[in-house]
Chains A and B, each alone.
Chain A
Amino acid sequence: MLQFMANGLCKGSVYALVATGFGLIYTTSRVFHLAHGAVYTLAGYALFCSITFLHLPLFISAGLALLVAAVAGALIEVIVYRPLDRKQASSAVVMISSLGVYILLVNLMTMFLGNETRILHSGAEPTVTFANVILTRVQLAQIAVSALFVTAYWFFLRKNSLGRLCRAVADDSVLASVLGANVEATRLVVFVVGSSLAGVGAVLVALDVGVEPNKGFPIVLGAAVACIIGGLHRFIAPALGGILLGLVQGLVVWRTSDKWESLVTFAVLICFLLFRPQGLLGMRQRAEER
């Protein structure tokens, strides 16, 4: 059982990264950023191309992948969401165009890079054993690196003036702009930060199991579920939700088999939406604020 929980923790730490990015974007810009999944896949492919075709060392390739993710997120915001925001389009319109961006990008990537799983390196990974739990080096890196990035992100939001600006815009974007904040610039920062977090997650997964074009959507859906579990009123809550979601999935795989994983994930989502829509760390809202 411990083994499954440990695998769940690894998975959860990736969800935590993608979900903090998704949650930051959602709370600040009110964009239900389904194209986050495409950014995630793009970062994985960037890593793959840079290692396989350009023969760059791993750390430089990982940096490149983050850069690609950040630029892609920023471009999507500037080209697609900003005009919609200026038109004050409804949330449904924004979500559908986000879905469109996702479909477009993923299919473009598949056209050029093929449908099959691209594995970065084959052969057995060196493993580490603690008390009956066997983890590969990459899995340990997943936990450590996500802990590092989530902590860094927390400091960014709490201690940095840019981070405080993000929180102000998330709280009330009209009031923030009245007080002189540049909302559009803040949104851009949010997309850059959020997309790079997704990029980190993508790199960690790509090193473990390789890159596949259609893996982005399950991840972004998992991230959305993690945001609901954690709650959307605190920026750090999606990370907690992601870890919990990974652990729940680990438990399901242990008790039954992985075929019921998605069913349980979304059953958890619907239970949370019904019984605790504010999430685990959420505060009760007054009815008129909802």
Chain B
Amino acid sequence: MNYVFHIFTIISLYVILGLSLNLTVGYGGMLSLCHAAFYGMGAYASALLMVNAGWPFLPSFAIAVIVVGMLAYLISIPSVRFHGDFFVLATLGFQIIIFSILYNWVTVTKGPYGIADIPRPRLWGLSIASTPAFFVLSLVVTLGVWGLTRRLVKSPYGRTLEAVRDDELAALALGKDVIHFKRSAFCIAGSLAAAAGVLFASYARSIDPTSFTLDESVFILCVVIIGGAGNMKGPIIGAVILVSLPELLRLVPMPDAVAANMRQGIYGLLLVLLMRFRPQGIAGKYASD
């Protein structure tokens, strides 16, 4: 039974990551490849606060989300000046730079060894140590993120963001501060990814930089693109499919090493086929443009 809750918890983490990246990719029309960097920075910020400073869960959560949100804003300042392929290349550059810092700044992050013994959260005297209890916590956070992003995209803010995505020049001509909308969407997405990172750190109880590589960014992008960018259902469908697919493939007898490549190969094939026949994703209405 714990196994089922484990899978649900992982799905909920990717739902948070997918919903947040959907703000940039789906609603903002900015194909970002540094989402795993924000996820990782959130995980590291909270882990360092909890392990080294002995802070409790909630304050570390809040500080991690705020700090990463600020960093995401800083990264967005140079990035949103670019369009199309160059934006992707710039965010990819930031992903690799941040990974390199996490991996090589040994005095703070302990480099490749990572941070171990991260406590499971205690909230109001209630210990959330078991897997089902943790699932309840991450479900609550996921619902919170879902509510927040839903409110955002249904608001005038979200409509303007979509207008910027569809026709930047027209939005500019209508007096919208295009740069502000892009930066803030990037910043909100980064801080929500940090929330997923905090949950991941206290769920896995030990983290190391290899969880936050470029491949992870690509995976989160797959969650959004395969599910369908630019609507609220897409990332949820994407997360369910992409997280449960490897679990289903376990039922097929084959060696572990081959299974991992098989799974990745299937993502690749799915991406190619979807882009060819249904660029808006499984649940999508809008073709990412």
Residues of A whose CB lies within 8 Å of any CB of B are 32, 80, 83-84, 89-97, 99-105, 107-108, 110-111, 114-115, 217, 221, 224, 228, 259-260, 262-263, 265-267, 269-270, 273-274, 277
Contacts and interface: CB of A to CB of B under 8 A. Distances in A.
A92 B31 contact: yes
A93 B271 contact: no
A95 B94 CA distance: 18
A93 to B, nearest CB: 5
Per DSSP, chain A at the interface is helix
Contacts of B275: 84, 89, 93-94, 96-97, 100
Contacts of B85: 32, 91, 95
B160 to A, nearest CB: 20
Contacts of A100: 267-272, 275
B287 A103 contact: no
A269 B89 contact: yes
Interface in B206-230: 214, 218, 221, 225
B264 interface: yes
Given A99-B271, A104-B269, A107-B268, A266 B262 contact: no
Nearest to B31: A92
A115 B255 CA distance: 13
Interface stretch (B97-105, B123-131, B150-158, B237-245): B97-105
Nearest to B103: A259
Interface of B: 31, 78, 81-82, 84-86, 88-90, 92-94, 96-97, 100-101, 103-104, 214, 218, 221, 225, 257-258, 261-262, 264-265, 267-272, 275-276, 279, 287-289
Given A91-B85, A269-B89, A273-B90, A99 B265 contact: no
Nearest to A274: B78
A111 B261 contact: yes
A160 to B, nearest CB: 28
Contacts of B271: 96-97, 99-100, 103
Contact of B287 (A90, A105, A108, A263): A90
Contact of A266 (B96, B103, B218, B265): B96
Given A95-B31, A115-B257, A103 B267 contact: yes
Given A93-B275, A263-B97, 6 more contacts: A100-B272, A104-B265, A107-B262, A107-B264, A228-B89, A266-B94
A89 B289 CA distance: 8
A269 B93 contact: yes
Contacts of A277: 86
28 contacts: A95-B85, A95-B88, A96-B271, A97-B271, A99-B218, A100-B272, A101-B272, A103-B218, A103-B264, A104-B265, A104-B268, A105-B268, A107-B262, A111-B261, A111-B265, A114-B257, A224-B89, A260-B104, A262-B97, A262-B100, A263-B97, A263-B100, A263-B104, A266-B93, A269-B93, A273-B86, A273-B90, A277-B86
B267 to A, nearest CB: 6
B93 A92 contact: no
B83 to A, nearest CB: 9
Contacts of A89: 275, 279
A107 B287 contact: no
Contacts of A99: 218, 268, 271
Contacts of A270: 78, 90, 93-94, 97
A260 B100 contact: yes
B100 A273 contact: no
Contact of A92 (B84, B86, B214): B84
A40 to B, nearest CB: 16
Would you list the 10 A-B pairs with minimal beta carbon distance, nearest first? A100-B271, A104-B268, A103-B268, A266-B93, A107-B265, A97-B275, A100-B272, A263-B100, A107-B261, A107-B264
B258 A111 contact: yes
A101 B267 CA distance: 10
Contacts of B31: 92, 95-96
A96 to B, nearest CB: 5
A108 B258 CA distance: 9
